[in-house]
Amino acid sequence: MSSQEHYGSRLPYKFLIGVVTLVIFFLEAPLIILVIQSFTAESYLSFPPPSYGIRWYKEVLTSEDWLNSISLSLTIAAIVTPLSLVLGTMAAFALDRGPKKLKNGLQTIMIAPMVLPHIVLGLGLFKMALQLDIDDSMLAYIPAHLTITIPFVVISVGASLQTFEQSLEEAARSLGANRFWAVWYITLPIIRPALIAGGIFSFIISFDEFIITFFLTTFQRTLPIEMFSTLMYQVKPSIAAVSTLTLAVTAFLTAMLILRGQVTSGDKVIK
Amino acid sequence: MSSVELKSIVKKYGEVTAVASIDLSVESGEFVTLLGPSGCGKTTTLRMVAGFIRPTSGTLSIGDVDMTGVPPHQRTVGLVFQNYALFPHMTVRKNVEFGLKMQKVLTSERGPRVQEALELVQLEALGERMPAELSGGQQQRVALARALVIRPDVLLLDEPFGALDKQLRDHMRVELRELQQKLKISTLFVTHDQDEALSMSDRIVVMSEGKVSQVGKPTEIYEKPQTRFVADFIGRSNILVGKVESKGKTINAEGLILPNKGNVVAGAEGISVMIRPECVEITQSGSKATSTSADVKGKVTASIYLGSIVQYSVQINKGPNLVVTQNNTGSENLKNLTVGDDVDVSFPDSAIYILPG
Amino acid sequence: MSRNSDENYGALWLLTPTVLLYVATFFVPIIMLGVLSFARFEMSVTTIGFYFDNYIKIFSDGITLKIFFQTVRLSLVITFWCLILGYPVALMMRSCSPKMKMVLLFCVVSPLLTSIIVRNVAWLLILGRSGIINDTLIQWGLTSKPLPLMYNEFGVILAVVHVYLSFMVLPLFGALNSINSSIEEAASSLGAPSWRVFLSITLPLSLPGIMAGCTLVFILSMGVYLTPVIMGGNFVLTLPMLITESVREQYDWPFASAMALMLLLAIGFMVILSSGVQKLVGRR
């Protein structure tokens, strides 16, 4: 590819490669080191570990505190993800199909929680939850998490609907499908990559959410909160093991995101 | 029985009128074309028949049943889109089957009907392919099969050849017309391409600015345009404004004296005279001229070679500038005409047509 | 093709559940904070009313305003470093091979999907008193006592830059990618050296991306709580830490609300400023 020759001489390009390599190292190295350290067989953290083992994973997976927080986080994310997908997709359809002159204004409202600092959102939600006496419960966590995940679904599905050829839906309707079935059989399968992306974003955001939940809880602990409290107390290898487990979950979902995207664009050609 | 009937259909978007009171009918088995430039309201009209747009006023019936407010999925119309709108995530077979599934046709009945539709368009071998693996012409046929399999009361075609290259377009045109005549299915066809309209239709509806300019058989539309717009839009034409002179014997059209063939009353002014370029004869001055109605002299000011025809601009002495075309027969006469040549121009009776009104 | 269809107001019903949710979780809570910020908090009792006590306190207690400006300063420094580190990456993503672009994109996007707390833990293990760096330095005898790499601004800035760098690279890449490279090729074919092509063409044309990225990173940095707590201990205070503390420890909702509103105000000011700058540049 000749675009590498943008700037005439090669010297600045080599310099650029050097800088970028350093930045990528800066981004990725800490995580790699974290993963390696989590496999230490010692009772303290050091790099490289003198000996390796899965001792700390065993400890995490048998500790009631860790397991409780992991299951709470997974439960919340598992409830939030489908709800967020349904509500966000409905909203994206409304923005795409509704009156054009209202679109910009409504879209701004739909993604507004994204630009609001979570500290402020969390503060407000805490006040609301106290008023309704639902703090420290699912009734508070679920709506709170939905508020920050829905904008991502609206954006990802909305972008996909913008390039969606609406005549496909019209074709389906002329063939006897009402609006709902036309969307169900035609539109949704075609925008599937965006739905998967929106779902994965929702899951990860909910699973990793800290500050808002931190306000809303008193006794219950989600995984990020359990990690935070442990960290404030002592840095043990178990924290590296839990972090690596979290990393594995998100890495798996990220890989799904990328692979599914390829599969859907690929099967048109292969099949 | 008429398959589709529109009575005083009006469509307004706020203050903008897209379709201003249209009356139109497609008889059973008839191929009717809506022809006009973009923005004339032809696609809006088609979409109203399909049910995607609700008319502001007027009534619309399909198969003699009032369908004005009925949603698209409850009308039995087969629609073929300009971009075909094939479902990219379904095989050819699933695409064709979709309409049957939506109309709750029994599974056992669907297979044979899909097969029949695919055979109709000669695609029975490609049922398991995905749309993206088909050529443009094949995609077009799938779209047709998908629209026909539900046995619609009327087939609606929205510029279906727009995305094909010229050769394939000419071929598909013949194929579609043959299929339509074989099935005797009422068809409403929308296009801006006059060649398509002229070659395929039983009747043509020429539209302009939301109104019907003229309805007629292809020959009527081409040879006897009723309005200046139709004359201008269909084919190449010279349109001159003239007045009747010499006690009604001749028409002076912008300096060109022509016989008053249409017997317009003496003294009439502002008459539109249409002269089809292919009917005018020109020969190099000095060569033997044929004796025809109105011989005048002129000068070639431009010459464009278009393959099968050659198009000239001829400045008539003390008269207008005319576009004249000659068939490229390879004759000496033709080859010798170049810019600046003096020519004799003659107008056979058939070349002159006076627009009514 | 202009889509000739009637405005479909019916579709707006699909917004209802989300709008209702937002009213309960977003609009009403923010209004409540607004109301609370004008309430009075005395002897652990909140009196609703129209008092300016909390705002006066912010400007007069000698510490809140200082921390506010420290938060702004930290955010600006973080934004600066994100820009310096992010621009080369975006530039590279634009000009490298498609395969390399995928790799870089993965490296940039994957941190977005990685828990902030996990990344902070990673830095903790590297920069801490007995972290990798200090361990190594002591082992090699280069220093006798651990270097102060965290529990200070350096550690906080480093960790936050690590978290928000992606938010800078993506808009930068978007802007750079939309520049027609033939403009640059034309300039270099006219004999301009590469650094001049960059300074006079590439950089100015990517300004919208720079503004977008900087605004985004600044907003995010203003609201950051977790990283300063973990990486800064109690040595680096930010406004979000103050807000959290006054609610969770002192139950002083009115004061916390006033600080939250001040945070929003600062962010709003920044957004208006950046859109103003963009308009000004666009007009030129």
Q: What is the mean pLDDT of residues B94-104?
A: 93
Taking the Cβ of residue B176 and every Cβ of chain C, the question of whether any pair is shorter than 8 Å is answered with no
User: What are the angstrom distances between the C-alpha of B85 and each of B58, C116, C209?
Assistant: 29, 45, 36
B94 or C177: which leads in pLDDT: B94
Give contacts of C 224-243 with A, CB under 8 A.
225-226, 230, 240, 243
Nearest to B52 by CA among A184, A169, C14: A169
Residues on chain B touching C4 (C-beta within 8 angstroms): 13, 18, 43-44, 47, 53
Q: Is the pLDDT of residue B86 over 50?
A: yes
By the 10 Å C-beta count (0-12 exposed, 13-18 middle, 19+ buried), B136 is classed as middle
pLDDT exceeds cutoff 60 at B329 = yes
Q: 């939850």: which residue's tokens? A: A129
- H or E segment and range at residue C40: strand C40-42
Inter-chain CB proximity B44 and C4 less than 8 Å: yes
Instruction: Please give the residue of chain C at the shortest CA–CA distance from B42.
Output: C4
B321-327 and B342-346 as β-strands: parallel, antiparallel, unpaired? unpaired
Residue of C nearest to A233 (CA): C230
Q: Which CATH fold topology does B238-354 show?
A: OB fold (Dihydrolipoamide Acetyltransferase, E2P) (2.40.50)
Q: What residues of chain B lie within 8 A of the CB of A271, using their CB?
A: 130
Residue C229: closest CA among chain A residues belongs to which residue?
A232
Q: How confident is the model at residue A259 (pLDDT cuts 50, 70, 90)?
A: low
Q: What's residue A260's pLDDT? A: 62
Checking if the pLDDT of C30 tops 80, the result is: yes
Residue of A nearest to C104 (CA): A24
A174 and B98 within 8 Å at the Cβ level: the answer is: no
Angle at alpha carbon of residue B139, lines to B138 and B144, rounded to 5°: 95
The pLDDT score that the predictor gives to residue B88 is 93
Q: Looking at beta carbons, which residues of chain C come within 8 Å of A253? A: 113
User: Of how many residues is chain B composed?
Assistant: 357
pLDDT bracket for residue A112 (50, 70, 90): confident
CA B6 – CA B25 distance, rounded (Å)? 6
Q: Name the CATH code of domain C63-283 (choices 1.20.140.10, 1.10.3720.10, 2.140.10.30, 1.10.10.10).
A: 1.10.3720.10
Q: Which residue of C has its CA nearest to A238?
A: C121
Residues of A in contact with B147 (CB under 8 A): 174-175
Residue among A119, A148, A206 with most chain C CBs within 10 A, to mutate: A119
What is the H or E stretch that residue B90 is in?
none
Domain positions in chain A are: 2-55, 63-270
Q: Note the pLDDT of residue A10.
A: 56
Chains A & B: contacts with CB separation below 8 Å = 72
C6: chain B residues, CB-CB within 8 Å? 13, 53-54
Residue B1: its pLDDT value, please?
62
Q: Higher model confidence: residue A89 or residue B233?
A: A89
Q: Calculate the average pLDDT of chain B.
A: 86
B52 close contact with C: CB closer than 8 A: yes
Q: Are strands B342-346 and B281-284 parallel, antiparallel or unpaired?
A: antiparallel
Name the β-bridge partners of B238.
B275
Sheet with B65-66, strands from edge to edge, namely B16-27, B2-13, B57-62, B65-66
From the CA of A87, how many Å to the nearest CA of chain B? 25
The confidence score (pLDDT) of residue C143 equals 81
By the 10 Å C-beta count (0-12 exposed, 13-18 middle, 19+ buried), B339 is classed as: exposed
Which pLDDT does position A124 carry in this prediction?
A: 94
Q: How far apart are CA B268 and CA B209, in angstroms?
A: 29
CB-CB neighbours of C99 under 10 Å: 8
Lowest mean pLDDT, pick from A54-63, B257-266, B287-296, C70-79: B287-296
- A173 vs B337: which has the higher pLDDT: A173
pLDDT of C1: 34
3-state secondary structure of C216: helix
Lowest mean pLDDT among A125-129, A254-258, C221-225: A254-258
DSSP conformation letters of B289-345: PP--S--EEEEEEEEEE-SSEEEEEEEETTS-EEEEEEE----HHHHH--TT-EEEE
Q: Do C29 and A124 touch (CB under 8 A)?
A: yes
Q: Do C4 and B54 touch (CB under 8 A)?
A: no
Q: Does the CB of C6 have a partner CB in chain B at under 8 Å?
A: yes
What average pLDDT score do residues C98-111 get?
Answer: 80
CB contact under 8 A, C7 and A99: yes
Among the listed residues B252, B248, B250, the one whose alpha carbon sits nearest the alpha carbon of residue B266: B248
**pLDDT confidence of residue B341:** 83
Is residue C186 predicted with pLDDT exceeding 90? no
| pLDDT exceeds 80 at position C112 | no
Does the pLDDT value for residue C4 go beyond 60?
Answer: no
| B 128-157 residues with CB < 8 A to A | 130, 132-133, 146-147, 150, 156
What mean pLDDT do residues C115-137 have? 85
Inform me whether the pLDDT recorded for B163 exceeds 70: yes
More confident residue, C80 or C120: C80
Q: Which B residues in the span 336-355 are in contact with C, Cβ-Cβ below 8 Å?
A: none
Minimal-distance CA residue of chain C relative to A106: C15
Min Cα–Cα distance to chain C from B214, Å: 24
Q: How, if at all, do strands B31-35 and B187-191 pair?
A: parallel
Is residue A7 very low, low, confident or very high in pLDDT (cuts 50, 70, 90)? very low
Which among B79-93, B307-321, C176-190 has the top mean pLDDT?
Answer: B79-93
Q: Which of B70-79, B187-196, B215-224, B296-305 has the lowest mean pLDDT?
A: B296-305
CA distances B351 to B258, B275, B280, Å, are 11, 5, 6
C5 touches chain B (CB under 8 A): yes
Q: Which CATH number fits domain B2-233: 3.30.540.10, 3.40.50.300, 3.90.1150.10, 3.40.640.10?
A: 3.40.50.300
Provide the pLDDT for residue A261: 54
Span B36-65, pLDDT tens digits: 998 888 999 999 999 999 999 999 999 888
Candidates B208, B230, B210; CA nearest to B221 is: B230
| Stretch C36-46: mean pLDDT | 85
Residue-wise pLDDT tens digits, A18-38: 999 999 999 888 888 888 888
Tell if the CB–CB gap between B83 and A167 is shorter than 8 Å: yes
CA of C5 vs chain B CAs: smallest distance (Å)? 6
Q: How far apart are alpha carbons A106 and C12 in whole angstroms?
A: 10
Q: Where are the beta strands (DSSP E) in chain B?
A: 2-13, 16-27, 31-35, 57-62, 65-66, 77-80, 154-158, 187-191, 203-208, 211-216, 238-245, 250-253, 256-259, 271-275, 281-284, 296-305, 309-316, 321-327, 342-346, 352-354
* Residue-level pLDDT at B148: 93
Q: What percent of chain C has pLDDT over 70?
A: 96
Q: For residue B298, which of B261, B267, B324 has the smallest C-alpha distance?
A: B324
Looking at chain B, the whole-number percentage of residues with pLDDT higher than 70 is: 93
Chain B CA closest to residue C3: B44
Task: Note the maximum CA span of chain B.
Answer: 79
Percent of residues, chain B, with pLDDT higher than 90: 41
C4 reaches B (C-beta below 8 A): yes
Q: In the 8-state DSSP scheme, what is residue B227?
A: S
Backbone angles phi, psi at A53, to 5 degrees: 180, 175
Candidate from A160-169, B32-41, B127-136, B231-240 with smallest mean pLDDT = B231-240
Chains in contact with B, counting 3 or more C-beta pairs less than 8 Å apart as contact: A, C
pLDDT of residue A1: 37
| 3-class secondary-structure state, position B277 | coil
CATH class of the domain defined by A63-270:
mainly alpha
- Model confidence at C7, pLDDT cuts 50, 70, 90, reads low
- The DSSP 8-state label assigned to residue B67 in this structure reads -
**Is the Cβ pair B71, A171 closer than 8 Å?**
no
Q: For residue B332, what pLDDT is reported?
A: 60
| DSSP three-state, residue B206 | strand
Decide: B199 and B39 in contact? Cβ < 8 Å: no
- The rounded distance, in Å, linking the Cα atoms of A243 and A222 is 14
